[in-house]
Amino acid sequence: MTRALALWLGGAAALTALGVGLWDGTNLASAVVAAGWAVTAAGCHLVGRPAVARWAILVAVLQAAAAVWTAAVPVAMAGWLAFALALPDGELRSVPRRAIAAVAAVLGAGLAVLSGPPSLYGLAAVVAAGTGATGIILRCGQASPRQRAALQWTGAGLLLAGSAGATLIGLYLLLGVPANPLTWLVVALVVVPVGALLGHVPATAHVGDKALLEAVVAAGFTVMIASVYLVVVLGLGRLPEDTERDLLVSSMAAALVVAVLAFPLRVRLLATARAITGRAGVPPEEVLATFGARMSRAVPFDELLLQLAESLKAAMAPAGAEIWVGSDGVLHRTLSVPDLPTARLELNERERIVVGRTRVGGASWLAVWMPGLLSDDGGPIRVAPAAHLGELLGLIVVRRPVDAPPFSEADDQVLVQLGRQVGLALHNMRLDSALQASLDELRRRNEELQASRLRIVTAADAARRAIERDLHDGAQQHLVALSVKLSLAGEIIAEEPGATENLFDELRADVQGTIAALRELAHGVYPPLLRNHGLDHALRSAARRSPLPCSVSVDLPRRYSEEIEAAVYFCCLEAIQNAGKHAGADAAITVDLAATEALLRFEVGDDGTGFAAGDAGHGFVNMRDRLGAIGGTLTVESELGAGTRIRGEIPVETNV
C-alpha cells in the first residue's frame, strides 16, 4: 500500500510539473526530467527494486518542485547525488556515503533559501555530477554482476548527459546556438533516469558493459568533432557570421552522423567485399577473437571445439575443418565439420617432436610428416599443431576445394594463434582431469583411512578383551589352582611330612603349565623369536603350533624393520590360523617368503576346501589394514575345492 501510494504521488508530481511546464515554457525541460524519474520509479518497483524506486520517487518529487519553483534546483541536485550514492541497491550502506548525502542536502537547502546566482548553481551541478560519478566508479569493482550492470547503465547515462552538455555549451559559446542552452542542458539529463531504469530491468541489465562502452565511444566521437570545429573557429580568428554559423552547425551534425554510422557501415562494406571476392563469411580474425572469448566462459570443452570447427568452416575452410586430440603421439579425430568417421593417427618420437614445434604446415610438409591427412582431390590444406611447451596435444586441420584460392599469410597467422589457444585449453583440461582424479583418489583413500582407523580401534579393543580373557581363563586359573594346592601342601606337611612327594609333583606340573600358558599368551602379543631371530624362526615356530601340516620356505637377504616384519608375521599367522580352521582336516599349508630390492613378498596357501569369491571374512580386512598402513597390498585367491592363496607385497626399498 505504501509503495502504491509513493508511486501515485511521484506520478502526480511529474504530471503536475508537466502541466506547469506547458503553461510556462521555461520550466518544461525540468518537468520532462521529473516525468522521467517518475517512470524510472514505477519501472524499478515493477521489477522488484523497491529501495531504488523510493529514491527515484524522491528525485522525481524534488525535480517536479524545481519545475514549479526554480529556487528548489539545488535541493533537486542534492537528491540526484543521493540517488547516485545509493546505487546499486538503493541503500546508503557506508558512513562516508551517508555523510556526503547529508552534507549535500544541507548545502542544497541553504542555496535554495539564499537564492544564489545561476553560476553558483552551475558549479554545484558540476561538483554533484563529479562526486556521483566517482562514487559509481569506486563501487563498480566490488559489486556483483547484477549490481555492476545497474552502475554501468547509470554511468552510461551520466556520460552521455555530460558529453551532450559540454557540446551544447561549446556550440553556444562559439556559434550562439541553441538560443536557450539551459533548456537543452536540462533536457539532456533525462538519459540519466532512463539509464538507471535500464540497469535494473532484467531484459537490458545484462548488457550494461556494452552500453557503457558504446556511451564512451559516442561521447568520444562527440567531443572529438566539437574539438575539430573549435579548431576551425579559432582558425578563422573571429566568430562566424550567420551563414557561416548555419554551415558549421550543419557540417557538425553531418560529421556526427558519419561518425555514428562509420563502424556498422564498415562491417557491411567488408562483408560485401568478401562476397565479391569469393571470401564471404566470418572473418578469420573474428574466429580467433570469438574462440578466445568463449574460452573465458563456462562452455563445455566438446561444445567449444565444435563451435571452433563450425567457425573455421564458415571463415576459411569451405571443404571442412577437423579437430584432432590425443597424447603420446596417438591422435584421434575428435570432431569434424562436415561429419567424418573417426580416425587414428600414430606418430613416432621424432615425428611428434617435429610436428609439435611446427607453426603451421601445408601439403608439401604433410607429405613428409603426416601423409595420411592429405586428401585425394589435392585441394589447399593447412594443419596447425595444438601444442603446449613443445608437447603435441592435438591438430587443427582446415581444407579448401581445388578451385579455391590458397591460404593467405593472415589465415596462417590466425591458425597459429588458434593452435596455441587450443593447446593451452587441452593442457588445462588435462590438468583439470588429473586434479579431479587426484581428488577422487584422495577422497577414496580418506574414506578407506577412516574405515581402517575404526577397524584398528575395534581390533585393538578386541585384542585387549582377548588378552583379558586368556589371562582370566588360562594363567589366572592355573595360579588359583596352584595357590590352593600350596595351602593344602602346607597343611599336609604339618600333619604328615612323608606324604608330600606326589603333591610336589603336581605342583611342579601346574607351574610348568602356567609358564606354558603365559608363554603362549606372550607369543600372541609379540613373539620373542621374531624380535630376536627374525621371520624365519618365528614362522617356523608358528608352523609347529599349527593343527595342520605346515611347511615354511624363507629366502630373505636381510632383516627388515620391526613394522615390516611384524606385519608379515601376523598376516602369515592369521592366514595359517584361518587355514587350520576352515581348510579341512586333510589339508596342508605352505608358507613362502621371498624378496627383491624393492619388494618383500609372502604367500600362504593351502589345498583345502577353499571358499567362494566374496566370502572373505574379517581376518582378511585386518590383514589389508595392517599391510596398507606401511604401503603394502594383499591379494586373496580362492575357489571351492581348489584351496586358497593369500599373497602380500610390501615395498622395502625405502623401509630398510
Regarding whether 425 and 298 lie in a shared domain, the answer is yes
Please report the pLDDT score of residue 593 as a whole number: 94
**Sequence-separated (6 or more) residues with CB below 8 Å from residue 589:** 543, 546, 548, 549, 550, 551, 576, 579, 580, 583, 604, 605, 606
Among candidate residues 31, 294, 47, the one with its CA nearest the CA of residue 150: 47
Instruction: With respect to residue 472, please indicate whether it lies within any of the assigned structural domains.
Output: no
* Residues written for the chain: 656
Digit-coded pLDDT (tens) for 367-381: 888 888 887 777 889
Q: What residue numbers bound the domain in which 533 lies? A: 527-651
Regarding whether 541 and 414 lie in a shared domain, the answer is no
d(CA 159, CA 332): 53
Regarding whether 429 and 532 lie in a shared domain, the answer is no
Regarding whether 172 and 68 lie in a shared domain, the answer is yes
- DSSP character string of 614-633: T---HHHHHHHHHHHTTT-E
Please report the pLDDT score of residue 601 as a whole number: 93
Domain end call among 433, 452, 469: 433
Q: At 462, which amino acid appears?
A: A
d(CA 36, CA 14): 8
- Whether the Cβ atoms of residue 80 and residue 59 lie closer than 8 Å to each other: yes
Domain end call among 168, 184, 205: 205
Instruction: With respect to residue 236, please indicate whether it lies within any of the assigned structural domains.
Output: no
Please report the pLDDT score of residue 3 as a whole number: 47
Q: Which residues of the chain have pLDDT under 50?
A: 1-10, 12-26, 280, 654-656
- DSSP character string of 579-617: HHHHS-TT--EEEEEEE-SSEEEEEEEE-S----TT---
Largest CA distance in the chain: 157
Regarding whether 293 and 190 lie in a shared domain, the answer is no
Burial of 169 (0-12, 13-18, 19+ CB in 10 A): middle
Regarding whether 419 and 533 lie in a shared domain, the answer is no
Regarding whether 400 and 541 lie in a shared domain, the answer is no
Digit-coded pLDDT (tens) for 592-636: 999 988 899 999 999 988 887 655 566 787 788 888 878 888 999
Q: What's the domain count of the chain?
A: 3
d(CA 535, CA 554): 8
Regarding whether 195 and 46 lie in a shared domain, the answer is yes
d(CA 561, CA 528): 15
Please report the pLDDT score of residue 292 as a whole number: 62
- Whether the Cβ atoms of residue 513 and residue 478 lie closer than 8 Å to each other: yes
- CATH classification of the domain holding 589: 3.30.565.10
Domain end call among 150, 172, 205: 205
Q: How far is CA 325 from CA 234, 316, 336, 370, 456, in A?
A: 64, 21, 12, 15, 47
- CATH classification of the domain holding 345: 3.30.450.40
d(CA 42, CA 54): 9
Instruction: With respect to residue 272, please indicate whether it lies within any of the assigned structural domains.
Output: no
pTM above 0.75, yes or no: no
